[in-house]
Amino acid sequence: MRVRTTVSATTAALLILVGATAEADADAGVRPLPAPAGARQAAGIGMSATGLIHGVVLTDAGSRAVTWRGGERVDLEPEGVNSLVHEGNDLDQVVGYREVDGVRHAVLWSAGRRVDLTPAGAVDSAAVDVNNRGEVLVSSVDADDDRRLSLWRAGTWRTVVESPSAYFGSLGAGGDVTYTADGTAYLARPGRAPVAIGAGTPVDVNASGQVLVAAEGKLLLWSAGRTTDIGSLGGGQTHIPVSQEGSGPWLSDSGQVVGQSSTADGRSHAFSWQRRVMTDLTPGADSGAAFAVNRTGTVTVTEFAPVPKLSLWRRGTAEVLPLPTGGNPFGSALHPFLPWTGGTIVSTTAPESTAYEWR
């Protein structure tokens, strides 16, 4: 799940900040994002409206949550403390977890401070999502192996669901929460009882309360009690190409869906779907995938073969981005409304990756 809001006065104010950042970063194009000495892997996972990229680096000491701005890296935890970022919002708040004595603790990193969000009684926890209202969704497990999804905001807690089978929580702009329990996808809206959507795993929820569900090789869009199978590119299989490099949003506030779908000749291609029309975004490729869509309908698209290629697609036009090194590119950290992206390039010959930013 990713964080989404509609364009508003808040966004207008953020545009001023973004403009200032863009002016300072006059060296537009592509640049590598620095990693600690000896790091083997680095990945940009998401980008805020102010251009802050959050991600992770992997060293011999373990994984480390980081952010980048203007090509400069900030380590959210010191060396030797395993930590991971899951999501961020437009207020430059980042959530995830840090390990203490081998136990994961849910964490919010905000304005240079760390806030421990471990629920009472939890023996394992992680903050899995955050929205622009500052609400944080925390997944936790207690000593009896019971699972709980809780919503935290400014020191106040609310339990969303408590069940041994509750997984895959995601958070919408207005406080909507999706999750899976006993193989069924649910939507829990503020002040209302959870609604069963159907079999499958919810992978995204937008500001309108529409929910994207993955179910047995299909993607289903649920909206106000009605479910639509978005179909395929002719091969019958459509899914979300989740990777360790991070990805999403898969569903925009306008109902646009992106991902990967099989073609009639057995290939896997990137697609964009909206208003019951699915468009092939990599028609000439052997394989490809779309990894994110933003509020303007811009999509990050990767072609894996025959030649690796990264592009930004919008309204039928694709802008191919420069690749400074060989490997498979993932534009997983797409700006919420500008044609900027961060991400990573994964080596095809070694278990190594480098984080990059494209503007």
Distance separating alpha carbons of residues 322 and 27, to the nearest angstrom: 14
More confident residue, 82 or 326: 82
User: Does the pLDDT value for residue 333 go beyond 60?
Assistant: yes
The pLDDT tens digits for 289-298 are 999 999 999 9
pLDDT for 24: 36
Q: Answer yes or no: is pLDDT of 302 > 90.
A: yes
pLDDT band at 354 (very low <50, low <70, confident <90, very high): very high
* Predicted TM-score (pTM) above 0.75: yes
- pLDDT at residue 15 greater than cutoff 90: no
DSSP summary character for residue 245: T
